[in-house]
Amino acid sequence: MLKENLEQAICKGTRSQEGIKTAAIRYRFNEIIYDIHNNRALTLKPQVNVKIDRLCPKSKDRIKTFLQTREANIIEVSPFADLSFGIRKIDSGDGPLHIEVTGDKFHKIPWILTAIILEAACGWSFEGVEETGWIPTKKRPRRVKDCGLFYEDKKVVAIMYRVPSYNDCEKILVKWLESNGRQIVVEYRPAGHSDGRSRLGYRYFIDYVMFSPRWVKQKAVDVLASPAQEFGRKYELTLAQTKERLVHQ
């Protein structure tokens, strides 16, 4: 029965929202496929055939566990914080920092990504969200709701909060508290089709643009380049692509 269920899953694949639905599950399945192939127990043409008797008990148990749990919710895909998201693409050319991110939390991901970049670039510590914060202005401090605070040597040095937007994008503003004129603007919007589950298992593709000094952009590219490569290698390879690679080895 294990053999039949596994062969059916391999044939089913990831098309039309069938088979392996999420990116993390797809990664787990691809690992299993490679393991079976390396044990010379997998034939893909002219039809799928798995020689179960060639596999060790550990491999069989891993397959059984995968088939039983593939519908479970996957929470660990990202190396950042406790939020499931992935860096798909970084544009390191001229102009503002442009990143394509994938995940299920449309508003939360840009917030966390901004915190990650500024912690690395400025040496700050992001201490989460406060219900109320105060921004210095030329006349008097202005009150804002749901703001993020950045600390340096236990002192609040910058505040992050959302600002109204009048087009199809959302905006985040990061403002230095001791300098009225120093700030960073982030814009984000859904990229392409807003329901990408049939492709990557996530609800949103997000276009993230940060308008910042060049040194902040460069630090962001340095910090995020490796996670982006790792995410692409692990989670964006479809089952069909994996099978194609194995067939042509």
Instruction: Looking at the structure, tell me whether residues 203 and 228 fall in a common domain.
Output: yes
- DSSP states of 159-179: EEEEE--SSSSEEEEEEETT-
Whether 244 is in a domain gets the answer no
Instruction: Looking at the structure, tell me whether residues 59 and 177 fall in a common domain.
Output: no
User: Cα 14 to chain center, whole Å?
Assistant: 19
Of all residues in the chain, the percent with pLDDT exceeding 90 is 19
Closest Cα partner for 26 from 10, 5, 45? 10
Whether 27 is in a domain gets the answer yes
pLDDT digits (tens, 9 = 90+) for 189-231: 887 654 444 445 566 778 999 999 999 999 999 999 888 887 7
Instruction: Looking at the structure, tell me whether residues 63 and 120 fall in a common domain.
Output: no
Instruction: Looking at the structure, tell me whether residues 61 and 106 fall in a common domain.
Output: no
Tokens of 110: 């840009």
Domain count, the chain: 2
CB 211 within 8 A of CB 96: yes
CB 201 within 8 A of CB 25: yes
Whether 80 is in a domain gets the answer no
Whether 77 is in a domain gets the answer no
Instruction: Looking at the structure, tell me whether residues 119 and 61 fall in a common domain.
Output: no
Q: Which residue range(s) make up the domain with 131?
A: 85-234
pLDDT digits (tens, 9 = 90+) for 157-190: 888 988 887 777 899 999 888 776 789 999 998 8
pLDDT computed for residue 17 by the predictor: 45
**Which DSSP symbol is given to 234?**
H
CB 9 within 8 A of CB 220: no
- Pick the more confident residue, 37 or 15: 37
- Pick the more confident residue, 141 or 201: 141
Of all residues in the chain, the percent with pLDDT exceeding 70 is 75
Instruction: Looking at the structure, tell me whether residues 52 and 116 fall in a common domain.
Output: no
* Global confidence as pTM: 0.65
pLDDT computed for residue 222 by the predictor: 92
CB 38 within 8 A of CB 30: no
Instruction: Give the model's confidence band at 87: pLDDT under 50 very low, under 70 low, under 90 confident, else very high.
Output: confident
Instruction: Looking at the structure, tell me whether residues 16 and 101 fall in a common domain.
Output: no
Last residue of a domain, one of 48, 72, 96: 72
- What is the chain's mean pLDDT, rounded? 78
Instruction: Looking at the structure, tell me whether residues 113 and 154 fall in a common domain.
Output: yes
Last residue of a domain, one of 72, 106, 134: 72
Last residue of a domain, one of 72, 94, 113: 72
Whole-angstrom distance, CA of residue 20 vs CA of residue 85: 18
Whole-angstrom distance, CA of residue 44 vs CA of residue 38: 13
Instruction: Looking at the structure, tell me whether residues 56 and 138 fall in a common domain.
Output: no
pLDDT computed for residue 96 by the predictor: 94
Whole-angstrom distance, CA of residue 51 vs CA of residue 202: 33
Instruction: Looking at the structure, tell me whether residues 195 and 91 fall in a common domain.
Output: yes
**Measured CA distances, 225 to 80, 90, 220 (Å):** 14, 7, 8
Give the CATH number for residue 135: 3.30.530
